[in-house]
Structure 1
Amino acid sequence: MSVPGINVSNILKDHPELGLKLIAGENGLQNRIHSSEINRPGLSLTGFYESFAHDRIQIFGKGEWAYITSKEGEDMEKLAADFFHFHLNCIIFTHGNVPPPIFVEYCDRLNIPLLGSDVSTHKFITLISQILDRSLAPRTMRHGVLIEVFGIGILLSGKSGVGKSETALELIERGHRLVADDMVEIRRLSESYLIGTCSDLLRHHMEIRGLGILNIKDIFGIGSVRDHKLIELIIHLEEWTDEKEFDRTGLENRTEEVLGVNIPLIKLPVRPGRNIPIIVETAAMNQRLKKLGKNAAAEFSQKLNIYLQQGKVERNPPQN
């Protein structure tokens, strides 16, 4: 698991919705942001720097701007000296407010990007928090195929050559949608769910042995692909062996931990003659029912126990 950073330059160039413009500190645009939280330094500007979150993006809203512009002379110089004593990675003024000249001087000298935006503080914080949450989410790469089946994001895993891509291809032909083939990038956007996506290079492409690389969007249309999907089920394809026992009742609640999140897991045996795509479709519909609180295996087990208690089922039926 890795927690990547994001350059200030990426925030400036790739997100026009923030309305950012560079005011000073151009040489610091490669500064890395590693925290998805932001900081409004109002309390610190008054001189209280205990627990000052200097490693976060510093947002100056109307209140912070009004306070610093009320200072003059030595008071302003002391305020700036104390504030810039800390290592800062980025400062942003919202509402179109203009930073005081001494802030511009410090930022140019210390290579701290100083940015301005006409967007209101509340809206700006909402937008940049969403951007940072996506960009800095813990992530990992998994070998497999991510496909949406009846609205359920299913990660097909298994050894190379077991039939993951072929299964996904038939599911796509049946109207379901591909998210990623071969390498799936997984991000944890909260404590309870994972989002799977694909790199820009591999997006919408699939490798089929004997055919090579296919562009699924070009062959099946735009409705056959999507860029990301919540991962709700992992189906691990395994070659069938008589020596191994597979679940036959559905009462085993297996899970697999990915980035600290437990995802329901099904181990599905594969052998010639089994229609794996139909089984995957059925697993998706069954998972959807489980989300609604309906568990067929558990209900059957409960009914069977009642029948046994009432003596309606022979515990040891006679052998023919």
Structure 2
Amino acid sequence: MPKKVRVNDLVKKFNMEVLCGEAGLRRGITVADLNRPGLEMAGYFEFHPKERVQVMGRTELTFYETLSNEEQLDRVSKLCAEETPCFVVTRDLEVPQSILQAAEEHGIPVLRSGVATTILAGRITAFLESRLAPTTTIHGVLIDVYGIGMLITGSSGIGKSETALELVKRGHRLIADDAVEIRQTSDHSLFGQAPELIKHLLEIRGLGIINVMTLFGAGAVRSEKRVSVVIKLENWQQDKQYDRLGLDEETTRILDTDVPLVTVPVRPGRNLAVIIEVAAMNYRLKRMGYNAALQFTNRLTETIAEDYDDVD
């Protein structure tokens, strides 16, 4: 089933006044897009998006007042579709009685705000996009390393939380441990956060659960971070060929977004925290246009070519 936001959520979030239709405050909102029914006020309903929140500002209501009584009744009866979640009136404008009466009859709430139409529409859209975004939960640890969101994954007991603890001690910030809730925005960016129940908590085998914010201060945690790189920890396999140059750029798919993947083999003596720090810095360099592995390969090719020319 699609995710839903209730009309009542809009009322609470934006401190709106409910003019009528209180019975419909639990109506569901399933799309983030809004509609300003200008063409509908003029009588064109061919492509009317009735499932959207209907926002009415000064333009729509002023035009509505110019219509005859018959035209007003026709327009408002068509606007009050069964799928319509609510009407939002901006700028604290007076709402015609015919709209209030029709909305009350159909059980559709009419909300009013003092905010300007364009500003309020932008805020509502951003709120709905965030609440209705596709989400998933991944077993792992999300940590902010040098401003890069590093999602550490791997089998249970491989050392994800211990690595995160070492990174926190080195001045980096924890977002989530064990379960990472990830949402995908409309531009296919991924943002991770911790479930409310385990926010700021870290589970260390042998010690139990510790509160990172209490131990290390508010600067050691943050509530949300964009996921930029996935670090996969796996036990070292003697017969497996691992990338030694960094030319093979792997990706992994989370929801509908491909994210760079770095596989780090785990064995005694390897400092995973330092490796992840370097992976974060290397990712930043690549975004700035510098690829050390590619430059090394080019220099190696040039050296081989020069040696070949000298032999000739």
For the superposition of Structure 1 and Structure 2, which TM-score range results when normalised by the shorter chain? Answer: over 0.9
Residue type at the aligned position of 1:48: Y
Shift of 1:314: 11
Select 2:172's aligned residue among 159, 168, 176: 176
Shift of 1:71: 3.0
Q: Which position in structure 1 is the counterpart of 2:21?
A: 25
Q: Secondary structure at the match of 1:180?
A: strand
Q: Which position in structure 1 is the counterpart of 2:6?
A: 7
Do structure 1's residue 35 and structure 2's residue 31 form an aligned pair? yes
Shift of 1:132: 1.2
Do structure 1's residue 211 and structure 2's residue 211 form an aligned pair? no
Residue type at the aligned position of 1:169: L
Residue type at the aligned position of 2:121: I
Select 1:160's aligned residue among 143, 147, 156: 156
Q: Which position in structure 2 is the counterpart of 1:47?
A: 43
Residue type at the aligned position of 2:9: N
Shift of 1:248: 1.0
- List per-residue Cα deviations over 1:72-98 (Å, max 9, x = no partner): 432322222232245311110001112
Q: Which position in structure 2 is the counterpart of 1:99?
A: 95
Length-normalised TM-score, structure 2? 0.95
Q: Which position in structure 2 is the counterpart of 1:89?
A: 85
Shift of 1:135: 1.0
Q: Which position in structure 1 is the counterpart of 2:306?
A: 310
Looking at structure 2, the residues matched to 307 and 3 of structure 1 have their Cα atoms a distance apart, in angstroms, of 58
Shift of 1:313: 11
Shift of 1:259: 1.8
Select 2:63's aligned residue among 63, 67, 77: 67
Shift of 1:229: 0.6
Do structure 1's residue 116 and structure 2's residue 112 form an aligned pair? yes
Length-normalised TM-score, structure 1? 0.93
Residue type at the aligned position of 2:80: F
Q: Superposed, which structure 2 residues align to 1:213-232 within 5 Å?
A: 213-232=209-228
Q: Which position in structure 1 is the counterpart of 2:267?
A: 271
Q: How many residues align?
A: 311
Shift of 1:197: 1.0
Looking at structure 2, the residues matched to 274 and 252 of structure 1 have their Cα atoms a distance apart, in angstroms, of 21
Looking at structure 2, the residues matched to 203 and 314 of structure 1 have their Cα atoms a distance apart, in angstroms, of 63
Looking at structure 1, the residues matched to 81 and 210 of structure 2 have their Cα atoms a distance apart, in angstroms, of 56
Looking at structure 1, the residues matched to 129 and 91 of structure 2 have their Cα atoms a distance apart, in angstroms, of 23
Q: Confirm or deny: 8 A CA contact 1:144 1:181 kept in the other structure.
A: yes
Q: Confirm or deny: 8 A CA contact 2:50 2:79 kept in the other structure.
A: no
CA RMSD between the two structures: 1.8
Q: Secondary structure at the match of 1:201?
A: helix
Do structure 1's residue 233 and structure 2's residue 229 form an aligned pair? yes
Q: Confirm or deny: 8 A CA contact 2:233 2:264 kept in the other structure.
A: yes
Q: Confirm or deny: 8 A CA contact 2:190 2:227 kept in the other structure.
A: yes
Residue type at the aligned position of 2:8: S
Identical-residue share of aligned pairs (%): 39
Question: Are the structure 2 counterparts of residues 159 and 313 from structure 1 closer, same or farther at C-alpha, using a change threshold of 3 Å?
Answer: farther
Q: Confirm or deny: 8 A CA contact 1:139 1:188 kept in the other structure.
A: yes
Residue type at the aligned position of 1:257: R
Looking at structure 2, the residues matched to 109 and 214 of structure 1 have their Cα atoms a distance apart, in angstroms, of 55
